[in-house]
């Protein structure tokens, strides 16, 4: 029987949905978690630290990350989960909306990895898990910018995986289909009502744990999670 060694893990988008579920699941399994989100994650645990920051603020993000790395030099894993959905035909997006969606869904993750990787390379170990989407696998109507942001994450993860392997850094991407979360609250569509029409946040949290706790010599490359039945309904 193997014993899990406690790791210090950063999770972005920690206040709700997949991020919050991942924090709670990892804490239950003995890890220390630093949750980053705009809002309070409402998690009470001795091994949890909540940091409030809007990751879409790219002007201030490098300053925030410099402070984070100084105060936590030993980061074993990074879970890049923060993001939001926005859908519509391309001409419905303003130029500012395009930039903001790409800033949060892709560029903020690149900034996070950029800040954490140097110390991981010095330690010759580290795990980075990106939460992608089924939208990273195939472009879809009304999803041009959202799909572009997730395709960017997938390509970034693939390149970073090759780059980091020489230094013992494992990079994974998890692509969930429709997950039962607040993601759909402000959208015009959602998943079906049956339990076979959506993924539970616990499914994604377990997959994140699997990637983090895999043996150093094995990389969990890319995992796609899908509901048993793909059902989309309009509101």
Mind listing the domains of the chain with CATH numbers? 8-234 (3.40.50.720)
* Other Cβ atoms closer than 10 A to 22: 30
C-alpha distance across the termini of the chain, in Å: 49
Smallest CA-to-CA distance from 212 within 96, 81, 89 is with 81
Contact 144, 86 (CB under 8 A): no
Summarised one tens digit per residue, pLDDT across range 61-90 is 999 999 999 999 899 999 999 999 999 999
Q: What is the pLDDT of residue 42?
A: 85
Burial category of 233 from C-beta neighbours within 10 Å (exposed 0-12, middle 13-18, buried 19 and up): exposed
Can you tell me whether residue 180 is helix, strand or coil?
A: coil
Collect the ranges in the chain with pLDDT lower than 70. Answer: 1-4
Contact 41, 24 (CB under 8 A): no
Single pTM value for the model: 0.93
Can you tell me whether residue 109 is helix, strand or coil?
A: helix
Q: What is the pLDDT of residue 4?
A: 67
Q: What is the pLDDT of residue 188?
A: 80
Contact 156, 102 (CB under 8 A): no
Average of per-residue pLDDT values in the chain: 93
Q: What is the pLDDT of residue 80?
A: 98
Q: What is the pLDDT of residue 2?
A: 45
Smallest CA-to-CA distance from 202 within 230, 231, 176, 171 is with 176
Tell me the C-alpha distance between 73 and 75, whole Å: 6
């Amino acid at each position: 029987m193997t014993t899990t060694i406690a790791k210090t893990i950063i999770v972005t988008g920690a206040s709700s949905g997949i991020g919050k579920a991942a924090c709670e699941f990892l804490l239950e399994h003995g890890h220390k978690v630093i949750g980053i989100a705009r809002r309070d994650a409402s998690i009470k645990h001795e091994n949890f630290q909540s940091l409030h920051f809007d990751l879409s603020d790219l002007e201030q993000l490098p300053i925030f990350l410099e402070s984070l790395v100084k105060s936590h030099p030993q980061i074993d894993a990074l879970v890049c989960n923060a993001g939001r959905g926005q859908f519509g035909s391309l001409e419905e997006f303003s130029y500012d909306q395009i930039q903001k969606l790409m800033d949060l869904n892709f560029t903020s993750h690149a900034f996070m990895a950029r800040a954490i990787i140097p110390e991981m390379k010095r330690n010759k170990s580290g795990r980075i898990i990106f939460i992608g989407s089924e939208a990273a696998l195939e472009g879809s109507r009304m999803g041009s910018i959202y799909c572009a942001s997730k395709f960017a994450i997938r390509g970034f993860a693939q390149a970073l995986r090759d780059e980091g392997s020489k230094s013992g850094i494992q990079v994974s991407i998890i692509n969930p289909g429709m997950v039962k979360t607040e993601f759909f609250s402000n959208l015009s569509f959602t998943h079906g009502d049956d339990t076979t029409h959506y993924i539970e946040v616990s499914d994604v949290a377990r997959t994140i744990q699997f990637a983090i706790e895999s043996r150093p010599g094995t990389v969990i490359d890319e995992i796609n999670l899908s509901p048993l039945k793909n059902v989309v309904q309009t509101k």
